[in-house]
Structure 1
Amino acid sequence: MDGKLDATDRRLLSVLQQQGRISNADLSERVNLSPSACHRRVQRLEEEGFIRDYVALLDARKMGRTTVIYVEIKLSGQADEILDAFEQAVQKVPEVLECHLMAGTADYLLKVVAQDADDFARLHRAKLACLPGVMQIQSSFSLKCVQSTTALPV
């Protein structure tokens, strides 16, 4: 079954995306498998890389990170060494939750969290503007999150 998902695998993945800490007994009941068969399937899904990791999702408000900013970055060039230097450096900025290499007008799109506008101004000046190769930065503040999920369609 290497690399293929059947309906049971999809049910397992769907439940695990919503309740990563569910017990094997409860999971097996939810997907109509014996506990041992359920455990074997989950192990296989982990080994084959369908399940990449288990994490705790923190509440941004309780962590004091209530401001989300999408930052478009244009670099001074497209040479591999410029892209590589930027990518290595941006991974060291903890406030950057996501960094995507883009097609279009921006070279990169970052999802950044901050405490507030003043905190982002500090972050912009001290970290983002200092990243290698940065030529232009365009920031957009999120006013309201309408939809947010970590669950992929299965």
Structure 2
Amino acid sequence: MCVSKNAAVFDCEDTAKTMRSVRKVQRMDGQICANCANITKKSKKRRIMLDPTDRALLAALQNDAHSSAGQLSEMLHLSASQISRRRQRLETEGFIQGYTAKVDATRMGLSVQGFVQVHLATHGPDNSTSFARMVDLRPEITSAWTMTGDADYLLRVYCADLAALNTLIHDVLLPHPAVARVQSQIVMDQLKRDGPLPTG
């Protein structure tokens, strides 16, 4: 949400509308909110070009990060040393940010997956910092995003059961001084698992 000096408010419902709102506010008073400023900054950031082999390598590593240089060389028709150099470059340039293991939530006893929309009572750097710190310390909250639209944050949570989710909402989120209200949705079934990013 962008607020101009004259208190005009613009909701950024999607990326295209966000950029239109950014330009509109800039024309009015030259100021934009932090979220829209970040979007503008990212859009202007220099893009490093990837060739088809880089993209194929990223796709292969997303499907199986344990693939050896030898296996990847056979798949991509490059030498193992070329694969290693490309992989190291992609790591250095930030395309590959790390390697993690996918753990089955149900086997870990986390039978409830949910999404929680959080609406703040007041906005300011202190409240945002305090809320972000709290989110970072809660292991049940596996992902968190700042959002356009009505909600300020969207949280992805995994809990052992509904009682644990209720505790998280009523004993952790709602008592936070920055939070006005929350709205939760429980996942009934996940039709598609978290997949690799498109590389084409």
TM-score range (shorter-chain normalised) is over 0.9
Note if contact 1:98-1:112 (Cα within 8 Å) is conserved in structure 2.
Answer: yes
- TM-score, with length taken from structure 1: 0.94
Moved over 4 A (4+): none
| Structure 1 residue 28 displacement after superposition | 1.2
Of residues 50, 58, 68, the one that matches 1:5 is 50
TM-score norm. by structure 2 comes to 0.73
C-alpha displacement of 1:4: 1.4
Q: 1:23 is matched with which residue?
A: 68
Residue 142, structure 1, aligned to residue 180, structure 2: no
In structure 1, stretches of 5+ residues that fail to align are none
Measure, in 1, the Cα distance between the counterparts of 2:115 and 2:70: 41
Equivalent residue for 2:143? 98
Deviation at 1:55, TM superposition (A): 0.5
Aligned to 2:82: 37
The structural deviation recorded for 1:138 is: 0.7
Q: Which runs of 5+ in 2 are unaligned?
A: 1-46
The answer to whether structure 1 residue 47 and structure 2 residue 66 are counterparts is: no
Q: Distance in 2 between matches of 1:110 and 1:60?
A: 17
In the aligned structure 1, how far is the partner of 2:176 from the partner of 2:88?
A: 40
- Larger proportion of helix: 2
The structure whose Rg is larger is 2
Considering Cα pairs closer than 8 Å and 6+ residues apart, tell me whether 1 or 2 has the greater RCO. 1
Contact 1:90/1:131 (<8 A) preserved: no
Percent sequence identity over aligned pairs = 36
Aligned-CA RMSD value = 1.3
Q: How many residues align?
A: 153
Q: Is the 8 A contact 1:75 1:136 kept in 2?
A: yes
Which of 59, 69, 77 is equivalent to 2:104?
A: 59
What does 1:126-141 correspond to in 2, within 5 Å?
126-141=171-186
